[in-house]
Amino acid sequence: MEKIIFGDNQFFGINHMSEERAQALAEKFRDLKAITDVLKTAWDVGIRGFMLNSNDRAKEICDFLRKNKESFEGLRLYPSIPYPHKYANLVTEKGIINTIRDVLCSENTAKESLGLIWKGGAFFSSGGDATKIMELLIDVEMQVFRELNVEVVFLQNVVTDLVLGLGLKEVFIHYYAYIKEKYNAEPGFITMNLPKLVAFLTEVCGLDNPIVCSPINKRGYFMNPSAEACEEVIAKRKFRPVAMSIYASGAIPPKEAIEYISNQKNINAIVFGASSKKNIEETIGLIKQCSD
């Protein structure tokens, strides 16, 4: 896994601290070229790992990456699936069965859909096996990233934390195995409750050294149940921590943010987003400085 991963929240107008800032980002990156220019900048300063949510913009970005493979040789992608907002309204309006039917028919070309439709037929004829639903949705989401080098597939925190809350260990176990077997990639999990998830994955599900991404920052922003509890898990538990929200949506000065992360000795990787060359270079420089 890459030690530095470039995130994509800024491209979609996401800023949890400031609605005004979020709107400004959405406007700035309305055009695909504005996004690809930043990706090129990140690439030019040495970043090789990119995390992408599987939303509509990710399709455009992945099309660009496929068309420009020679310029991005050595690229490693870290998809975050599924994009829950895409399904929420459909399920409410049509129910899960009709949603799956619609998604299978609309999200892919005829050639790409053939295997999914075949699997979908098995799902419907079997009476609706829950694991088949999961496999179908994973396959649909992963079509976005086809023909690209995928290293880790992260399960979105909305889904991860729902499954965790319901205690559905079979879902985690099946997801873990399916990503490894079908996509030859590492399964990862994004969560807003690091201690609880790590305990569940390792003690209940029996997963060895899982990859878990969660907010880790000096202010304790989104670190549930507390910053202290998260720090203890990072220090003592066997898993591969990935830090996100390191700047707490801009509330922490860059040097302070990176110094704090560097003091958490077992962190495997950092995910960060930036919208300018200056900010990207500053983060890279600080990470290198603090790791020396």
- Residue boundaries of the structural domains of the chain: 4-83+150-291, 84-147
CB 77 within 8 A of CB 149: yes
Percent of the chain with pLDDT over 90: 64
Query: Hey, what are 73's tokens?
Result: 């040789």
Mean pLDDT confidence for 50-57: 89
- Using CA atoms, how far residue 208 sits from 1, 28, 238, in Å, is 16, 42, 8
CB 280 within 8 A of CB 42: yes
pLDDT greater than 70 at residue 261:
yes
Tell me the chain's radius of gyration from C-alpha atoms: 19
DSSP character at residue 14? -
Measured CA to CA, the distance from residue 94 to residue 88 in angstroms comes to 10
pLDDT in tens, 210-246: 999 999 999 999 999 999 999 999 999 999 999 999 9
Higher pLDDT among residues 88 and 46, named by residue? 46
CB 172 within 8 A of CB 201: yes
The mean of the pLDDT values for the chain is 85
DSSP character at residue 185? S
pLDDT in tens, 104-136: 555 544 344 444 444 444 444 444 566 777 888
Tell me which CATH homologous superfamily contains domain 4-83+150-291.
Answer: NADP-dependent oxidoreductase domain (3.20.20.100)
Helix axes 110-125, 130-142, angle to 10 degrees: 170
Three-state DSSP at 156 gives coil
Three-state DSSP at 150 gives strand
Closest CA to 264 of 244, 282, 283, 279: 244
Predicted TM-score (pTM) above 0.85 = yes
Query: Hey, what are 171's tokens?
Result: 């879902």
Query: Hey, what are 65's tokens?
Result: 């990456």
pLDDT of residue 54: 86
